[in-house]
Amino acid sequence: MNDTQSSATFPTSQEWTDDALLTEVERRSGVAVGTCFQCHKCSSGCPIGPDMDLLSSQIMRLIQLGAKDEILESEAIWACASCEACTARCPMGLDIAAVMDTLRMMAVERKISSRDRRGRSFNKAFLTSVRWHGRVYELGMMALYKLASRDLFADMDKAPKMLAKHKLNFLPHRSPSVKAVRRAFKRAQEEEKKR
Ligand code: SF4
Ligand code: SF4
C-alpha cells in the first residue's frame, strides 16, 4: 500500500448518504456490489494495486457507502487495466472489472477525466475499445493507449506474464450487447451536441 492509499479518508457511518450510488452501479454493471464483505482478495491480486490511489476492495466499500466523488475523482478507475484478476479471485463471484468499467463510464458522463495525460489517453483508448467491441478488448486497448500516450515501452515486461496466465486475449471477444452499447454512444454524442 502506498502513502496515498494509507492516507485515504473514508466516510464515517454518519456520513452515509443514501444508496443511490450503490443502486446505479449495481444496475449498470449487473454486479451485486452490496454483497462484498471486504475480504481484500481482489486487491491483493491486482497487478496495478501499488500504483492506485484506491484499491479495488476500497472502491467496493466506498460504493456501498455512497462516496461518489471520492470514487469518480480517483485516478484508480483510470489506472485499472481491466485484466480481470480481481474478478477471478473474488469468493463472491463479483465481476469487479465490470464495476470499474461502469465507474469509468459514469465519470466520463459527468465530464470527469484523469488529471494526468496518461490517464486521459487511457480513457480514450478504453472508450474506443468499448464502442468497437461492446466491452474492453484488453490487447487492442493497450495498443491504442500506448500509441496515444507515446508511452510505448513502459510495463512491457508484464505482458508475457499476463498472456501466460490468460489475463490477455490475442483476439477480441465481442459482447452480444455491442449494438445496444453503440446506440448508447450515439445517444451520448447527440446529447453532447445539444449542450
Ligand atoms: S481489473 Fe483493474 S482492479 Fe481488477 S485486478 Fe485488473 S487492474 Fe486491478
Ligand atoms: S474479493 Fe470480492 S468480496 Fe472480497 S473485497 Fe474484493 S469484491 Fe469484496
Report how many domains make up the chain. Answer: 2
Per-residue pLDDT in tens (0 to 9) along the chain, 195 residues = 444 444 455 555 445 556 899 999 999 999 999 999 999 999 998 888 887 899 999 999 999 999 999 999 998 998 888 888 899 999 999 999 999 999 998 988 887 776 666 666 776 777 777 777 777 777 777 777 666 666 655 666 666 666 666 666 666 666 677 777 777 767 766 666 665
d(CA 71, CA 102): 12
Same domain, 61 and 157: no
Considering only CA atoms, which residue is closest to atom 8 of ligand 1? 46
For the chain, how far is it from start to end, CA to CA, in angstroms? Answer: 41
Phi, psi angle pair for 109, to nearest 5°: -60, -35
Ligand 2 test: best mutation among 35, 39, 86, most atoms within 8 Å of CB? 39
Residue 136 near ligand 1, beta carbon < 6 Å: no
Considering only CA atoms, which residue is closest to atom 4 of ligand 2? 39
Task: Give the range of the structural domain holding residue 125, as residue numbers without chain letter.
Answer: 113-195
d(CA 19, CA 63): 9
Same domain, 6 and 21: yes
Same domain, 49 and 124: no
d(CA 5, CA 3): 5
Residue pair 76/8 in contact (Cβ under 8 Å)? The answer is no
Task: Give the end of a domain, one of 79, 95, 111.
Answer: 111
Task: Give the end of a domain, one of 63, 89, 111.
Answer: 111
Task: Give the end of a domain, one of 95, 111, 127.
Answer: 111
47 CA distance to ligand 1 centroid (A)? 7
Residue pair 73/112 in contact (Cβ under 8 Å)? The answer is yes
59 CA distance to ligand 2 centroid (A)? 10
Could you tell me the CATH number of the domain that includes residue 28? Answer: 1.10.1060.10
Same domain, 28 and 40: yes
Same domain, 91 and 4: yes
Same domain, 102 and 191: no
